[in-house]
Structures are given as C-alpha cells and as structure tokens.
Amino acid sequence: MSLVTRCPSCATAFRVLPGQLSARQGRVRCGKCDAVFDGIAALVEDSPAPLLAEPSPQFGLFDPSRKPAPGERLEPNQPLPAFMAEDRQPPRRALWWTLTLLAALALAAQAGYRFRSEIAASVPAARPALDEACRLLGCETALPRQLKLLSIDSYEVRADPRREGVIVLNAVIRNRAPFAQAYPALQFALTDDSGRDVVSRVLSPRDYLEAGKAAGLIGKGIEASGEASLTVYLDTSRTRASGYRLELFYPT
C-alpha cells in the first residue's frame, strides 16, 4: 500500500511506503528543498490527480541527534498510525525468546543427565524414562555415588579370640542422603608408630557384605538415611603394626 506525504516547506507531495516511514520514526528529508519533516504527520489523502514529478524524500539519511541546519524544521514526534503499529515491533524478539527457551531446555537436559541417578532414586516414577534415555545415549542409570553424604559412624579393630594373627574389623557406614546410594569401597591400612602404611587393602562391597546376601544388597544400595554394618576378618600374622586407618571411596 503506497501513501502520500507532503513537504510542509515547499508543498511538494511524494508517494511513499509504510516501511520507508517506519525506518526513522517517520523523519524524512525533502528531495526538493532538503527540509527535514515528519512524514507521518504530513500524510495526505491519496488522490487520482497526478503528483509533481519531484525527487522522492531521502530516507535513512536523517540522524535524529544532529542539530537542524538553517531552514530545517523538526516537527515533534507524532504517534504512528494504526497501520504502522506492527512495523514498529522489534523483529528479533521472537527469535530471542526462542533461543532463550532452547538454552533453558539444554541446561535442563544437562542437569538431568548429570544427576540422572539421584533423580531415579528420589523419583522412582521417572526411572523408566531415564532408562530409555540412557539406552539411546549409551549411558547407565546406576545408584547415586555422593561420597560426601556417606560417613563411617563407628568402627573398631580387635584381635580375633579364636584365631591367632587375625583381626576383626567392625564398622557402620551411614548414608545421610535422602535417596539410596551405592555401597562404597573401603581402604583399610595398618600403620606403624610414625603413621606410615605398613600394609593396605582395598575392600569391595562383595568383600565386606555377607556372602549370601551381597548381590541383593548391592542392587538395592544403602537406603535413604540408613546405615550398613560390616564385619571383616584380616590376617595380620606377618605384619607388625601399631595403628590402622579406614576410608571410604568410590572407584573411578
């Protein structure tokens, strides 16, 4: 749709398009007398009478921050006509919101992948969906391994009264997490008077859990806010030690 705007200085009429007027909030420069005027405020009704064959207004050359030159009249800004309202909307707003949404979805997917074990343990209903996603991604939804939420509440080492040179390790592992966790590995070391390791042994869950129940317990993990007791017998007949050390860890 073409429009007609008239220069208020020389009365020359020009045919323009809405997109041209919206480029600089309607500010244009007359192609005949170089006067700057508001092309929107100067719109006139189109008529069948032929217009003067004069140069069209110059668009895109007007800088609103420039001071007017002699003879220029800067009209105050006028509200845009209704037909130009859509042209004034920022064209990139929809794209910006789309990119923001995609970024948020990507972050949610990363968090879901990173904490999939914790989510599956805390929300059992979500496990089938997580298992299916892992099937496609080639990952595994195992029990959580938050070592900082595990602790050894108590442990003791004593000689086995029935066998010479054998010691008995009793310990309690507590899970402070609000979800079940995988059984950790234990590193048990005997130390000398200076605190240096004389002998060290790594105990997997199968080593310290009851033989007949180990498989079932490992599959379920240490329940939320629960604990696991263990007893291990170690032969120290060939070792001279004065102390011991016990630590939890998850193999990498």
Placement of tokens 């997997």 in the chain: 204
Reading the block at residue 119, the tokens are: 């989510």
Question: pLDDT category, 181, cuts 50, 70, 90?
Answer: very high
Quote the percentage of the chain above a pLDDT of 90: 23
Of 92 and 179, the one with more pLDDT: 179
CA distances in angstroms from 1 to 84, 144, 252, listed in the order given: 11, 65, 70
What would the mean pLDDT of 152-162 be, rounded to a whole number? 90
User: Could you tell me if 118 and 200 lie in one domain?
Assistant: no
What would the mean pLDDT of 189-193 be, rounded to a whole number? 88
Q: What is the pLDDT of residue 169?
A: 92
Q: Does 133 fall in a domain?
A: yes
Q: What is the pLDDT of residue 73?
A: 46
Of 186 and 114, the one with more pLDDT: 186
Q: What is the pLDDT of residue 61?
A: 45
Q: Does 71 fall in a domain?
A: yes
User: Could you tell me if 11 and 75 lie in one domain?
Assistant: yes
Say if CB 116 and CB 130 are below 8 A apart: yes
Q: Does 142 fall in a domain?
A: no
The residue among 72, 58, 74 whose CA lies nearest residue 23 is 58
Q: Does 102 fall in a domain?
A: yes
Of the candidates 137, 169, 196, which is a domain's last residue?
A: 137
Mean pLDDT of the chain: 78
Report which DSSP code applies to 181. B
Number of domains in the chain: 3
pLDDT digits (tens, 9 = 90+) for 95-108: 888 888 888 888 87
Q: Does 177 fall in a domain?
A: yes
For residue 119, how far is the Cα from the chain centroid?
Answer: 16
User: Could you tell me if 165 and 189 lie in one domain?
Assistant: yes
Q: What is the pLDDT of residue 188?
A: 93
Give me the long-range contacts of 81-84 (CB less than 8 A, separation at least 24): 81/40, 81/43, 83/1, 83/18, 84/18, 84/21, 84/22, 84/40
Q: Where are the beta strands (DSSP E) in the chain?
A: 3-6, 13-16, 27-29, 36-38, 43-44, 150-159, 166-175, 185-191, 197-203, 227-235, 243-249
Q: Which domain holds residue 108?
A: 93-137
User: Could you tell me if 151 and 245 lie in one domain?
Assistant: yes
User: Could you tell me if 62 and 107 lie in one domain?
Assistant: no
Q: What is the pLDDT of residue 225?
A: 93
Q: Does 79 fall in a domain?
A: yes
The residue among 246, 244, 237 whose CA lies nearest residue 197 is 244
Cα–Cα distance for residue pair 190/196, rounded to 1 Å: 8
Q: What is the pLDDT of residue 91?
A: 58
User: Could you tell me if 182 and 116 lie in one domain?
Assistant: no
Question: pLDDT category, 58, cuts 50, 70, 90?
Answer: low
Of 45 and 65, the one with more pLDDT: 45
User: Could you tell me if 5 and 37 lie in one domain?
Assistant: yes
Q: Does 237 fall in a domain?
A: yes
What would the mean pLDDT of 187-202 be, rounded to a whole number? 89
Q: Does 17 fall in a domain?
A: yes
Q: What is the pLDDT of residue 184?
A: 96
pTM for the whole thing? 0.50
Q: Which range among 52-61, 76-85, 129-138, 175-184 has the greatest average pLDDT?
A: 175-184
Q: What is the pLDDT of residue 57?
A: 57
Q: What is the pLDDT of residue 174?
A: 96
Cβ-proximal residues to 223 (8 Å cutoff; 6+ apart), any chain:
175, 180
CATH number at residue 199: 2.60.40
Cα–Cα distance for residue pair 136/183, rounded to 1 Å: 27
User: Could you tell me if 82 and 99 lie in one domain?
Assistant: no
Of 91 and 139, the one with more pLDDT: 139
The interaxial angle of helices 127-137 and 93-114, nearest 10 deg, is 100
Cα–Cα distance for residue pair 81/96, rounded to 1 Å: 27
Say if CB 198 and CB 240 are below 8 A apart: yes
Question: pLDDT category, 90, cuts 50, 70, 90?
Answer: low
Does the pLDDT of residue 75 top 70, yes or no?
no
Does the pLDDT of residue 190 top 80, yes or no?
yes
Question: pLDDT category, 69, cuts 50, 70, 90?
Answer: low
Of 179 and 66, the one with more pLDDT: 179
